[in-house]
Amino acid sequence: MSDTFGQTVFEAPGHDHDACIRGALARADALCAERGLRLTAIRRRVLELIWDNHRPTKAYDLLSAISAERGNAAPPTVYRALDFLLEAGLVHKIESLNAFVGCDAGHERGHPKFLICRRCEHVAEIPGPAVDSAIAREAERSGFTVDHETIEIGGICRRCAAAD
């Protein structure tokens, strides 16, 4: 489970990614149990594939993987699983990449906001209400009622900058 404050928005150097995936799936199991949602085999496997790394995953890469495993899989197979996972808040779509990332933030009140490193392609969510608040203030000036935010910040993460 990632920290939500400080310097470890991106994974820390000693990141135990196996545990990271297990945690994400456990949280998904718990959340679905709690809400009476059915995390079926396909849906769970798609979620696991998305958590395979911290990079955005493309629908057709998921399709290839699922197809290789099960023999039969078509676009609807993966898009339906994605719809479910998006609806449940277990994954997010990165619009600027047409790709999907796992969500570990549990941002009930806020909207997801991403930092995306264009070198290593890792993605992290921006925590906290500061950005949402700034946007809310600007929207209010125009009498605009916000109900969805797509915020995807591209750049270079600390580790990639250090690796020059």
Q: Are 32 and 39 in contact (CB under 8 A)?
A: yes
Please give the Cα distance from 127 to 112 (Å, whole number).
8
> What residues numbered 23-42 form the site for Zn ion, per CB under 5 A?
none
- Binding residues for its own copies, how many (CB under 8 A)? 40
Examine residue 38 and tell whether it contacts its own copies (CB under 8 A): no
Q: 64 exposed, middle or buried (CB, 10 Å; 0-12, 13-18, 19+)?
A: middle
Which of 3, 2, 8 minimizes the C-alpha distance to 157? 8
* The two structure tokens encoding residue 126: 């921006």
Neighbours of 67 (CB within 10 A): 15
Q: Which does 154 bind (CB under 5 to 8 A by kind): DNA, Zn ion, its own copies, none?
A: its own copies
Among the residue ranges 10-18, 78-86, 135-143, 144-152, the one whose residues contact DNA (CB under 7 A): 78-86
Examine residue 62 and tell whether it contacts its own copies (CB under 8 A): no
Please give the Cα distance from 105 to 161 (Å, whole number).
25
Q: Which does 145 bind (CB under 5 to 8 A by kind): its own copies, DNA, Zn ion, none?
A: its own copies
Computed on alpha carbons and rounded to an integer, the radius of gyration of the chain in Å comes to 17
Examine residue 9 and tell whether it contacts Zn ion (CB under 5 A): no
Binding residue for its own copies, selected from 9, 50, 91, 101, defined by CB under 8 A: 9
Examine residue 81 and tell whether it contacts DNA (CB under 7 A): yes
Q: Contact residues for DNA (CB under 7 A)?
A: 37-38, 40-43, 58-60, 70, 72-77, 79-81, 84, 93, 98-99
